[in-house]
Amino acid sequence: MRNKLLVKRRFSNSIKTYEDNAFIQKQMAAKLVDILPDKNYKNIFETGAGTGILTKELIKNIEFKEYTYNDIIPDAKRYIDKIIPDAEFIEGDIEEISLNKNYDLIISNASLQWCSDIYKTISNLTEHLTKDGIIAFSVFGCENLKEIKEFFNIDNQYLDVDILNKKYNVIKYLSEETRVYFDKPIDIIKHFKLTGVNAVKEVKLTKSKLKEFEEKYTEKYTLCNKIYLTYNPVYIILQ
């Protein structure tokens, strides 16, 4: 079960620094929009809009008439208002809010992995698709943050595409791996803090624990005098 209060607090705390540091999420947003099968939709619902990284990609590349968006953080509204002033905002946890209409496109970038039950969330969202509507989303795969997940016991939720294939028409499935390079292990910790990625669990880093992390990480994951961290974006489009 996700600690949604922790998720909300961590992303609220990092919202001012998120966009300048969420370079992987920016790449994912651009890729997700690029692989959409159509470039014209009557109405769109975006969940986990945040500071509008995906919203900006959509408005640049996609035609639409109505735009509705959602986020667990109220501050998201002031960011999206600058991009689409007449968009409708539905505040709250996507697992708890109610939608009152159907959409041609439901879309989410690097957000649904925070759900306690991602399969149930996807099922609920499909009930609000128009006849030929699609859900397009990106999440992180099983190789994501693999260098540190054991050290910090990170319990990320990973999608099994075979489960989705049994229930939906999966139009597109892509999985990629990309390495991000840093000067020092402490820079990874700072990166997590600035993007809210440390919202999975409370982690207390004592001086001794931090020193142990820095030594072990540098020893195992150094390449050309840089340390690296793996991200594993996964893109799915389904009906």
159-214 residue pLDDT tens: 899 999 999 999 999 999 999 999 998 888 888 777 766 544 556 678 888 898 89
3-state class percentages of the chain: helix first, strand second, coil last, to nearest 5 = 40, 25, 35
The pLDDT, as a whole number, for residue 16 is: 73
What is the CATH architecture assignment of 4-144+154-179+231-238?
3-Layer(aba) Sandwich (3.40)
d(C-alpha 106, C-alpha 72), whole Å: 17
The pLDDT, as a whole number, for residue 6 is: 67
Dihedral sign from CA coordinates of 137, 132, 81, 5: negative
Extended strands (E) in the chain: 40-47, 63-71, 88-91, 103-109, 129-140, 170-175, 178-182, 222-223, 226-231, 233-238
The pLDDT, as a whole number, for residue 213 is: 87
Side chain identity at residue 219, one-letter code: E
Task: Write out residues in the chain with pLDDT < 50, as ranges.
Answer: 199-200
d(C-alpha 100, C-alpha 65), whole Å: 17
